[in-house]
Amino acid sequence: MQMLLLLLVVAGGMGLSVEAGLLGPLGLEVGKLWATFSIFAVGAAITFLLMLFFSPRNSPSFFSQPSWQLLGGVLGPVYVVILTLATPIIGIAMTMVGILAGQVFKSLIIDHYGWFGVQHRRMDTKRLIALFFIVIALILMANS
């Protein structure tokens, strides 16, 4: 099961690269914020349809959840605006490696301290070495 989830996550990452590739040119044509809005509008419409047909009708109320859990709604558009701005200038590969470096760095901290209710996973040498290689990849790409 873990390997299947890992493959699914890799496929999701590939989708983000495609999204970045689409957002750059779209942002140049219609404007960065309109491109961001269009991505979220289409995503919201698809999510609504999925909820309509597949979500349990007796799920807990959205409004009864802690407000800090809604922070992703703020971070998502910031991420997409950054993709839209950076991709046409530095390219998809460097944008994705930069995003990956930031994600892994922050993820190590979140796992280490068990923030947001995630399972506590100690930061160890292997994880730090993995981050180091991602940063090296970013440096090598920036200097090519």
4 assigned to some structural domain: no
Residue 23: Cβ-neighbour burial (10 angstroms; 0-12, 13-18, 19+) = buried
Query: For the chain, what is the domain count?
Result: 1
What is the value of pTM for the model shown?
A: 0.81
On whether residue 35 sits in a domain, the answer given is yes
Residue 8 lies in a domain: no
**Cα dihedral 123/135/21/47 (nearest 10):** 10
Note whether residue 2 is domain-resident: no
Q: Which domain holds residue 24?
A: 14-62+70-142
Q: How do residues 29-84 score in pLDDT, each as one tens digit?
A: 999 999 999 999 999 999 999 988 998 878 777 778 888 888 888 888 899 999 99
Residue 1 lies in a domain: no
**Apex 64 CA angle, 61 and 65, nearest 5:** 105
Sorted by sequence, the CB contacts under 8 Å of residue 67 that are 6+ apart come out as none
Say if 99 falls within a structural domain: yes
Summarised one tens digit per residue, pLDDT across range 89-133 is: 999 999 999 999 999 999 999 999 999 889 999 999 999 999 999
Q: Does some domain include residue 49?
A: yes
Residue 86 lies in a domain: yes
